[in-house]
Amino acid sequence: MTLTTRYDFVLLFDVKDGNPNGDPDAGNMPRIDAETGHGLVTDVALKRKVRNYVGMVNDYAKPHDIYIKEKGVLERTHRAAYDAIGATDELADDGKGGKKKRKGSEDSVKAARDWICKNFFDVRTFGAVMSTGVNCGQVRGPVQMTFGRSADPIVATEHSITRMAVATEAESEKQDGDNRTMGRKHTVPYGLYRAHGFVSAFLAKQTGFGQADLELFFRALEDMFEHDRSAARGEMATRGLYVFEHKTALGNAHAHDLFDLVSVTRKPDVLVARDFTDYDVAINAAEIPEDILMIRRLG
């Protein structure tokens, strides 16, 4: 069943004594807004967790396979799409030094794109550029998300850690009998993050993203941290998921006005937040437009 209405949502999640999203350009330290000190988690990181969850619970089986996955080779998927639509001959030897063609006809590109949308959850959800290598076009996904931003400025702390072993024989000889080696670990003592999301009914029709896909996506947002445990990420959890369902595909209110109805404030008697209970989350239900249904899925 395809989507017929627009959705907007607010996602709250937190981290305790962990690194929610390391910045490779800063020694893997937690991402921080340099001007305000607020913590950041990229939309790419959040989508990665959704992909991992959906792939895991569906055993990466079609129609819930994942296009962008660890050690995946995208061109293999593109060639599989051409094979599935019966257009493999269009990618045969072009007679120029044994090179393979990488672009089929316009109809084949469209058919291959549709096949990938049908079989790969993340493409029909988030979209993808599939024109590298064998050309399967590109898709603009109906679901988009913002960066997560912490409610308060965070403090990124750095810890020295000790490993009671060395990696190589040569390293062992340098240690004079002491096998301990030192390392560094970055954590956020506590941070409550907020991200916004948007679901377009118009783009959903183009990719085949349906009501069942939407439910699976929201379930992934609720449970994605439960199956993504890591010593580096500390303790992370989804704390709130508030969905605004419109009555039309165009929508019945501006997204930013709906997001303003969900407020997150630190309790007045708390100087430094170290737990979710240090915050108040409030929904201004009286201001919700009558054409909008607010679904409190979590929180």
pLDDT above 90: percentage of residues in the chain: 79
- The arithmetic mean of pLDDT across residues 157-176, rounded, is 76
In this prediction, residue 90 has a pLDDT band, given cuts at 50, 70 and 90, of confident
**The pair of three-digit structure tokens given for residue 266, joined into one six-digit string:** 């630190």
Q: Average pLDDT of 234-257?
A: 97
Checking if the pLDDT of 24 tops 70, the result is: yes
Worst-scoring range by mean pLDDT, 47-56, 172-181, 222-231? 172-181
User: Is 209 within a domain?
Assistant: yes
Predicted local distance difference test score (pLDDT) of residue 243: 98
Q: Give domain status of residue 1, yes or no.
A: no
Q: Which residues span the domain enclosing 153?
A: 7-298
Question: To which residue do tokens 């009998």 refer?
Answer: 177
Output the pLDDT for position 97: 54
For residue 103, the model assigns a pLDDT of 77
pLDDT at 127 over 90: yes
**pLDDT at residue 163 tops 90:** no
Q: Contact, 121 vs 216, CB < 8 A?
A: yes
Q: Is residue 227 part of a domain?
A: yes
Residue 98 pLDDT exceeds 70: no
When mean pLDDT is compared across 10-19, 23-32, 138-147, 159-168, the lowest value belongs to 159-168
* Residue 132: Cβ within 10 Å count: 12
| Residue 112, pLDDT above cutoff 70 | yes
> Cα–Cα distance between 275 and 43 in angstroms, integer?
23
Mean pLDDT to the nearest integer, 159-173: 77
Q: Does residue 241 fall inside a structural domain?
A: yes
| Spatial distance between the Cα atoms of 100 and 134, rounded to a whole number of angstroms | 9
Residues 125 and 141: their CA atoms lie apart, in Å, by 5
**Is residue 48 included in any domain, yes or no?**
yes
